[in-house]
Structure 1
Amino acid sequence: MISIKEVTTKSEMKQFVLFPFSIYKDNDYWVPPIIKDEIANFDANKNPVFKNADARFFLAYKNNKIVGRVIAIINWYEVNKQKIKKMRFGWFDVIDDIEVTKVLLEKVNEIGKQNNLDYIEGPVGFNNLDKTGVLIDGFNHIGTMITWYNHPYYKVHLEQLGFVKEKEYLENKFKFENVDGTYYKRISNIIQRRFKLKALDFTKTKDILPYVDEMFEVFDATYSKLSTFVPISDAQIAYFKKKYISFINPEYIKFVVNENEKLIAFAIVMPSFSEALQKMNGKLFPFGFLRLLNARKHSKDVTFYLIGVHPDYQNKGVTAVIFDQYATTFKEKGIVNCIRTPELEDNEAIKKIWENFNPITHKRRRTYRKNIV
């Protein structure tokens, strides 16, 4: 007998966050979250995403043991402003028992029906800055701190329950040695002169912060036409500053401004924290924080987290300016591997950005949908 319980207490929320640690124990590729941060992320008093979204947290039990979890999410901006009547689900983890998956997703369906929504899609987060998708290929590659990892049976469960592919995402990587620094230096100089642009590099985090709001304006302009787009609120931007900017080497954040000092392009790269997070096993103390600092300074792998070019400057070679900046920085740091976050398979513009680097698709992930009944 499988039962469902809604999370209502602090102890239950901790159990919710800890559940994946049991099903991925000794897995070489799963990257655990920082437990304290994950709990804070689900706290409506701390995460401003809850100003525009509702979320209900559920645990599944079998023989008095936790065997699954899911968050049922409604992004009200998406529903009311964009008129997309979607019921989201995320942070979905289960043992290999399709009945557990069925019961959890029936609960999501029930909430969607109560709110007059049309269909379910998941796994997705609250918005574009969250993790997305079930891994369907590439299970023998280590995850990242900004993607979910899952067992191969997740895909099987969803498809057997009538969920169909909604969107597919590719994850690619390339060797830094594939980047021709001399070429990008030459092209960057031409582009900067032609369009009166200037590249900004940083060594101190405090110098970056004044540009973050403007960066999200460019982010919104860059991605607003994508089918997955939901705007990021000012409160969420402030939360992002606090949560992530201090994690990132200031040298790994690159901006491009025009002759009026207006930001027109940006990129954020994060050092790979995957191995450090695996060694920490969810705990910042006593030594976890030191592991993160060491990875921040010395990791030879980096993840391209966000990149954006304002539509007025797209197809003008502006990314060459950014890649010239990174070529210099990565050479100094001895970077070996460049890893990209999930990108929509039909995003031709993003494919063109990377095509000169001989990228290899090493993972694929999907979101699935099903009409609400």
Structure 2
Amino acid sequence: MNLEIKPVVHLRELKQFVKFPFDLYQGNEYWAPPLISGQLETLRQDRNPAFAYCRAAYWIASRDGKIVGRIAAMVNDKFNSVWSESLARFGWFDFVDDIQVSSLLLATAEKWAQEQGMSGINGPMGFTNFDASGMLVEGFKELSTFGAAYNHSYYASHLEHHGYGKAADWVEYQIAVPGEIPDKVERIAEIVEKRFKLELKQFKHKKQLLPFAHDIFSMINVAYKDIYGFVELSERQVEYYIHSYLNFIKPELTPLIFDEHGKLVAFGITMPSLSVAAQKAQGRLLPLGIYHFLKAMRSYRQIDFLLTAVHPDFQNKGVNAMLMLAMHKFFIEKGVESVETNWEHEDNLKIQAQWRFYQTRL
């Protein structure tokens, strides 16, 4: 049987590239499909502002006319400049359980990286920190969080076969929401609020939250700048993410904390779980996908914890307790049963310290 690989050149081929996982994971009850339109936006050079400092190429592997794999290779020049690296990255790496297929895909990406003058390649990664990254090595029978990476169990053995090793572990927790707020959380939140003269605000309407959108992304740039791999978001990217994401978040699930001068110093973003809605939508908002997502947005049984940031001047001072207290009160009011934390770096002790007062499950 003839195995071949071809670069993605035209939009028609890019759509095939994006849609391949829908065949690969057909019938899989744990995969939460991404939106096809969102994937196309991310991968198109004329749409994604990350291409201001990124280069990329995509390939599709086929056997006898049937697609059996895909891979993207990228160079983030801004990352290499900030962190003094010379690395390419691969992502959107999906394939049938065939060593020949994964070998051809990786070899093609590695060759491209060399042609770009890079000294190495790692992944799976996306263009930026806001793209799905990593490879699942445990928890294959857990429902994937919408927007997070999911893959078949054979993926890791293929990468090991081709000489790739683990760079770091990322973990995700499920947190049970108790009917009562832990005393320590309330006590710490009260002390911190008074000591640093902080004010927490929660809004009911998006128009009240959107004026702080740029402040939220400025906070991300400041709070995450020292974490290896993070690259400051440009103004174009900020506008892109505000349009793509902030218009869809629920303001009552996004508490903000301000200092005595009215400056944003911390925030947390959570959302009702969209995983089941994504499975029903099968990558499309129309004709019925939007109905499933809107219905999920009104359900509070399970919440996904998307992102939190605290200004460096207020880190390690208990400010997170104020966020946890505000969200926990809302969760009790709405009958939330559990919270998924999304992926966290195993060494990110500041983030994991948030959960020490709650019952968690990896």
Tell me which interval the TM-score lies in, with the shorter structure as reference length.
over 0.9
The answer to whether the 8 A contact 2:83-2:229 is kept is no
1:140 aligns with 2:127: no
Aligned residues, how many? Answer: 361
Q: How does 1:178-257 map to 2 (within 5 A)?
A: 180=181, 183-257=184-258
Q: How many Å separate the matches in 2 of 1:182 and 1:206?
A: 34
What secondary structure does 1:167 align onto?
coil
Q: How does 1:120-199 map to 2 (within 5 A)?
A: 120-177=121-178, 180=181, 183-199=184-200
1:287-315 C-alpha deviation (Å, 9 max, x unpaired):
11011111111141111111111111111
Q: How does 1:21-170 map to 2 (within 5 A)?
A: 21-170=22-171
What secondary structure does 2:284 align onto?
coil
The answer to whether the 8 A contact 2:82-2:231 is kept is no
1:287 aligns with 2:288: yes
What secondary structure does 2:28 align onto?
coil
Q: How many Å separate the matches in 2 of 1:5 and 1:179?
A: 57
Unpaired segments of 5 or more residues in structure 2?
A: none
1:91-135 C-alpha deviation (Å, 9 max, x unpaired):
110000011111111111111111221211110111111111110
1:38-83 C-alpha deviation (Å, 9 max, x unpaired):
2122222222111111111110111111100011111110123432
Q: How many Å separate the matches in 1 of 2:168 and 2:182?
A: 34
Q: How many Å separate the matches in 1 of 2:83 and 2:95?
A: 32
Look up the equivalent residue of 2:153 and give its one-letter code.
P
Look up the equivalent residue of 2:178 and give its one-letter code.
E
Unpaired segments of 5 or more residues in structure 1?
A: 362-373
Q: How many Å separate the matches in 1 of 2:341 and 2:219?
A: 19
> What is the TM-score of this pair, normalised by structure 1?
0.93
What secondary structure does 1:67 align onto?
strand
- Which shifted more, 351-360 or 151-160? 351-360
The equivalent of 2:315 in structure 1 is 314
Look up the equivalent residue of 1:189 and give its one-letter code.
E
The equivalent of 1:369 in structure 2 is none
The answer to whether the 8 A contact 1:5-1:59 is kept is yes
> What is the TM-score of this pair, normalised by structure 2?
0.96
Q: How many Å separate the matches in 1 of 2:48 and 2:61?
A: 25
Instruction: Determine which structure has greater relative contact order: mean sequence separation of CA pairs < 8 Å that are 6+ residues apart, divided by chain length.
Output: 1
Give the deviation of 1:285 after TM superposition. 1.4
1:247-294 C-alpha deviation (Å, 9 max, x unpaired):
211111111010011111111112110001101111211211011111
Look up the equivalent residue of 1:84 and give its one-letter code.
E
The answer to whether the 8 A contact 2:179-2:332 is kept is no
What secondary structure does 1:298 align onto?
coil
The answer to whether the 8 A contact 2:57-2:72 is kept is yes
- Which shifted more, 273-282 or 351-360? 351-360
Look up the equivalent residue of 1:130 and give its one-letter code.
D
Aligned CA distance change for structure 1 residues 178 and 163 (closer, same or farther; 3 Å): farther
Query: Cα RMSD (Å) of the superposition?
Result: 1.4
The equivalent of 2:302 in structure 1 is 301
Give the deviation of 1:318 after TM superposition. 0.4
Q: How many Å separate the matches in 2 of 1:178 and 1:172?
A: 19
The answer to whether the 8 A contact 2:70-2:95 is kept is yes
The equivalent of 1:370 in structure 2 is none
Aligned CA distance change for structure 1 residues 54 and 178 (closer, same or farther; 3 Å): farther
Aligned CA distance change for structure 1 residues 53 and 281 (closer, same or farther; 3 Å): same
Look up the equivalent residue of 1:26 and give its one-letter code.
G
